[in-house]
Structure 1
Amino acid sequence: MKNVKMLALAGATFAAMTAGSVQAEQYYGFMDVSLNYLDWSDKAEDRSNNGFGGAKEDFFYLEIEGGAGYDWGDVYGFVDFENPQNTNTSERDFSGAPVTDSFRIAAKGSIAYNIGKSNWNAYGHIYSLTVGGEGFFDQNIVVGASYDINTESGFWMKPFLGLHYENQTFSGSGFNGYMAGWVLGYNFKAMGQDFMVSQWHETEFAREDQFRGNGTEHTLKSVGQNGAVALWWNMTPKFTTGIQYRYADNKLGTAAYHDAIIYTAKYNF
C-alpha cells in the first residue's frame, strides 16, 4: 500500500509541477527509461556491513526520468524501481539480519520558478524512498533558491540552497538543517561522437541529532555528502550509455565514506 501511495504522490507532484505549462513557451524537454546496475565497492560493503550501519548489496534498478524547461522555469523528476525482480517479498520485516535486496521505490521531483528576468529561481524538491517488504520510508523536502548558469561552450550549472525537512520511519519528522548542492553538465564532441559529463551533488549540514542515528553505536555526522559524477555517450538520438561514480559520506545510513559504480543504458523518447 505504501508503494501505491508513493506512486500516487509522484504522479500528483508531476501534475502539480506541470500545471499551467500548457500555455507557456517550452524551450526543451526530454524523457527516457533506463536499465541500471549499481556495484558497491568492496570498501563500501565492508564499512556498511561491519558496524557502520546501512548494509549494502549490489542491485539492478529501472528508472523513468524526464524534465522540461519553460519561459517560467523548469521541472525535473525520476522514479526508480530497485530490485524489481523481488517485488513479492512483502513478508519481510525488520527482524533478524538486515535485508538488502528488498523491492524499493525511490522518486524525486524538483521545480525551479524564475524570479523576474533574473537567473535566480524559487527552488524546491521532494525525494522519497519506500522499502516494499520492510515498511521503511524516508521523505526529504527542500525549499529555497537556485541560480541558472548557462554558457555557449556547452557547460551549464544550477547551484541551490534550501531548508531541509525530513519525515522518516524511525526518526520521526521535523526540520533537519539545510541542504546545498548543484547539478551540472558539459556537452562535447570527441572522435565524431556526442558525449556529456554530468554531476549532481548534495551537502546536508547543521543536521539535527534526531536524524543522525543509524541503528549502530556510530552516529552520522552533522554534515553529510551525497552525489554522482557521470560520463555519457549519446550513441544515437535514441540510445545513450554511461558510467557513473556514486559516492556518499555519512549518508544513506552509513557513518563513513562509501562509493559505487553505476552502469547505465538509456532509451530516449
Structure 2
Amino acid sequence: MKTLNTALALALLTAAPAHAGMVAVEAGMMDWGSQAEAHFGKGKSENEFVTLKGATGSAFGDVYAHVKLEDFTDSDMIGSEINIVGQINIGDGDWNWYGQVFNKQKPVWSETNTTLGISHDKTWDNGLYTQVALAGHIVTSDYAHFKKANGESFDANGFNGGYVWLCANQSFNLGGHDVTLGWWQEHFFGRGDDYLIVSGDTEDHGFNGQLTLRYHIGSGLSASLQYRYAENNLGKEGFHDGVFYALQYNF
C-alpha cells in the first residue's frame, strides 16, 4: 500500500491525480509577474508550455518523471526541462533513499541538478500526503557565455551545497466537485560563489515553490491554477512570482 500511495503522491507533486501507473499531458500558459518580467524580459512574461508526466510504483520504490517544453513557438527562447525523481524504500517504514535529476536548457545555457539523500513520506488517515527530503546537491552546467574579467570561465560545476524538499497534497470534495490542493517547496543552501554569479541567484540560500489548485472535470480531464514563486532562485536575486493556467488529461 505504501508504494501505491507514494507513486500516487509523486504524481501529485504537480498536483495531478494518478494511480500506481500514471501518464498525463498538460498544456497551459505561464503568466509571470512584474518582478520577473522586468528582470528577464520575454524570457519570463507570458510563456506557453506543454508537459508529459508519468509515475509508477512497486515493492522496491517509485519513480516520477516529466518532460516539458517552454516557449516552443519562439526558436530564440525555446526551453526544455527533464525531471526524474525516485525513492527506494528502506524496509517497510516511511523512510526512503531519495534521488532527483533535473535538467533545464535554454538556447544560451544549460544546467543539470542532481540531488541524493534521504526522504520521509507518509499518507495520513485523512488522506493527506506529506514528504520531506534532505540531500546533497551536485550541479553540472554550461554557462559558456559568462566570462570573468580576465577571460577565464566560471567554475559552476561540482558539489553545490545542500537541498531540502517539502511537499503536501490533499484531495477533497468541494460542493460536489473533486478538487486537489497541492504544495511543494525546495530550498538550496551552501552554494558555490561562481555558481551564484552565473545562475543569477546571488545569495547563498534560495528557494522556490508552487501552490496548485486542481479541479477534476471528469473523464481524465482537469484544470489547474498554479501560483509559482521564488526567492534568490530560478535566475534572479530577490523575489519573483507568477500564475500558471493549465489543462491536463490523464490517460
TM range (shorter): 0.7 to 0.9
The offset of 1:224, in angstroms, is 0.4
1:8 aligns to what?
none
> What's the TM-score once normalised by structure 2's chain length?
0.83
Q: Determine whether 1:65 maps to 2:72.
A: no
Q: Determine whether 1:203 maps to 2:176.
A: no
Q: Determine whether 1:194 maps to 2:178.
A: yes
Distance of 1:111 and 1:245 partners within structure 2? 25
The offset of 1:40, in angstroms, is 0.6
SS of match in other structure, 2:164: strand
The offset of 1:29, in angstroms, is 2.1
Q: Match of 1:68, as an amino acid?
A: T
1:151 aligns to what?
124
Q: Match of 2:88, as an amino acid?
A: Y
Could you tell me which runs of 5 or more consecutive residues in structure 2 were left unpaired when the two chains were aligned.
1-18, 144-154
SS of match in other structure, 2:20: strand
Q: Determine whether 1:160 maps to 2:133.
A: yes
The offset of 1:73, in angstroms, is 1.5
Among 227, 252, 256, the alignment partner of 2:238 is 256
Distance of 2:199 and 2:57 partners within structure 1? 41
| Cα deviations by residue, 1:88-139 (Å, 9 ceiling, x for unpaired) | x3xx5xxxxxxxxx111111001000011121000000000111x33x1110
Distance of 2:206 and 2:199 partners within structure 1? 17
Change (3 A) 1:45 1:121: same
RMSD: 1.8
Distance of 2:78 and 2:21 partners within structure 1? 30
1:82 aligns to what?
70
Q: Match of 1:69, as an amino acid?
A: G
Distance of 1:215 and 1:155 partners within structure 2? 35
Q: Where does 1:10-25 land on structure 2 (aligned, <5 Å)? A: none
Q: Match of 2:162, as an amino acid?
A: Y
2:208 aligns to what?
226
1:30 aligns to what?
22
Distance of 1:197 and 1:228 partners within structure 2? 11
2:148 aligns to what?
none
Is residue 228–residue 242 contact of structure 2 (8 Å, CA) maintained in 1? yes
SS of match in other structure, 1:210: helix
Could you tell me which runs of 5 or more consecutive residues in structure 1 were left unpaired when the two chains were aligned.
1-26, 93-101
Change (3 A) 1:172 1:206: closer
Q: How many residues align?
A: 222
Distance of 1:49 and 1:75 partners within structure 2? 33
| Cα deviations by residue, 1:52-94 (Å, 9 ceiling, x for unpaired) | xx963220000001112222221101010111112xx3xx5xx
1:267 aligns to what?
249
> What's the TM-score once normalised by structure 1's chain length?
0.78
Is residue 214–residue 254 contact of structure 1 (8 Å, CA) maintained in 2? no
Q: Match of 1:246, as an amino acid?
A: R
2:6 aligns to what?
none
Distance of 1:43 and 1:128 partners within structure 2? 24
2:220 aligns to what?
238
Distance of 1:263 and 1:215 partners within structure 2? 27
| Cα deviations by residue, 1:234-259 (Å, 9 ceiling, x for unpaired) | 11031010100000111111011000
Change (3 A) 1:186 1:172: same
The offset of 1:199, in angstroms, is 1.2
